[in-house]
Amino acid sequence: MNHPVNAPLRAGFIGGGFMAAVHTRASRAARGRPTALASSTPERGEEAARSLGVERAEPDAHSLATAGDLDVVHVCSPNRLHTEHASAALAAGAHVICEKPLATTAADAERLVRAAREAGRVAAVPFVYRYHPMARQARFLVADGQLGTVLTLDAAYLQDWLLDPGDTNWRADPAAGGASRAFADIGSHLCDLVEFVSGQRIHRLAARTRTVFGRRAGTEVTNEDTAALLVELGNGALGTLLVSQLAPGRKNSLTFELHGTRQSVRFEQERPEELWIGGREGSRLLLRDPTAAAPDSARMSVLPPGHALGYQDAFTAFVTDVYSAVQGGHPEGMPTFADGLRAARLTEAVLASAAQDGTWIETPPETEDPA
């Protein structure tokens, strides 16, 4: 695709649900041009294109991926289809943003990493919590040594939208969502953020998982509702990670706390304008203020202090970085297919550990492209 310099990138979207709506808004805000959309049926595609203000609908994912006039394809289809849809878009020459989990097996995620490299295209995964300015600020505090050596971490990602056995969604169907649900869907975000902010890889983990409701709306469910992990980071730090989609009152509560030899830091996704800085002699809340922030945090702090930024803004910042990479930029900390592969490997380690009664599993730290 020959893209005229400075023309808005033409974006296509596979999927018509909640995430496709988030992606189209972010694309528009990142100066993209939402050009085409395909969903699970031609009728759903027409309806979603109309309601999301996308220029045209394509009858199915394949015709969208091969349309030929799209610079970037955003894959927001059910997890099991990611590999097929992302591969088709890369083969047609498009850059790709593929929802997490990038693939439902590490082997498929490896194939996608390889396909993206061979195609020479930008290939990104929306680990968007990296794009909260205060998450970047926390990362800076660690890298700058202000925490000292990280000793322990305490992190959780809790939701309640599947609390009732009558609640269901394609994610609860392993044929569409994959063998892991809660961990692949939200635990993957948590691990990505913990590794990104701490600058450390999870080297070993021990996990227990639980499927509380074996049936939802009359259908058998095998993937997990909850997961609890012990982790050991590369520097020996120990941590706990709790993941649940059955935590009453918790809507999208991603939190992490890192404890260093000098200070602690805590971030809460639902209060993204703040960081708690803990100290033995006193603790404080640090409020977002681009004038006093680390450059990489200030870069995505697009509004003045007190003008709250949130989830959609983080998403927009992510898509802005991807579009900049498509146009030759090298944005700092942009999550790629290699990070999606990392999450797929951690997910397999969680399932393997849980299947062996919570035994410790080594989780190789490399995220480089597989050979």
> Could you list the residues that contact ligand SOE (CB under 6 A)?
159, 185-186, 189, 252
The 10 Å Cβ neighbour count of residue 215 is: 12
Minimum CB distance to ligand SOE smaller for 132 or for 189: 189
The verdict on whether omega for the bond into residue 101 sits within 30 degrees of 0, i.e. cis, is yes
Q: Closest approach of Cβ 168 to ligand SOE, in Å?
A: 13
Minimum CB distance to ligand SOE smaller for 185 or for 268: 185
Q: Closest approach of Cβ 311 to ligand SOE, in Å?
A: 7
Long-range contacts of 139-142 (CB under 8 A, 24+ apart): 139/196, 139/197, 139/199, 139/296, 139/333, 140/293, 140/294, 140/296, 140/297, 141/263, 141/265, 141/275, 141/277, 142/197, 142/198, 142/199, 142/258, 142/260, 142/265
Q: How far is CA 111 from its chain centroid? A: 19
Distance between CA atoms of residues 258 and 135, nearest Å: 12
Residue nearest to ligand SOE (CB): 185
Q: Closest approach of Cβ 189 to ligand SOE, in Å?
A: 6
Minimum CB distance to ligand SOE smaller for 263 or for 312: 312
Q: How far is CA 13 from its chain centroid? A: 17
Minimum CB distance to ligand SOE smaller for 26 or for 361: 26
Cβ pair 340, 189 in contact under 8 A: no
> For residue 166, which amino acid is it?
G
Q: Closest approach of Cβ 63 to ligand SOE, in Å?
A: 26
Minimum CB distance to ligand SOE smaller for 159 or for 180: 159
Q: Closest approach of Cβ 342 to ligand SOE, in Å?
A: 16
Q: Closest approach of Cβ 315 to ligand SOE, in Å?
A: 9
Minimum CB distance to ligand SOE smaller for 160 or for 289: 160
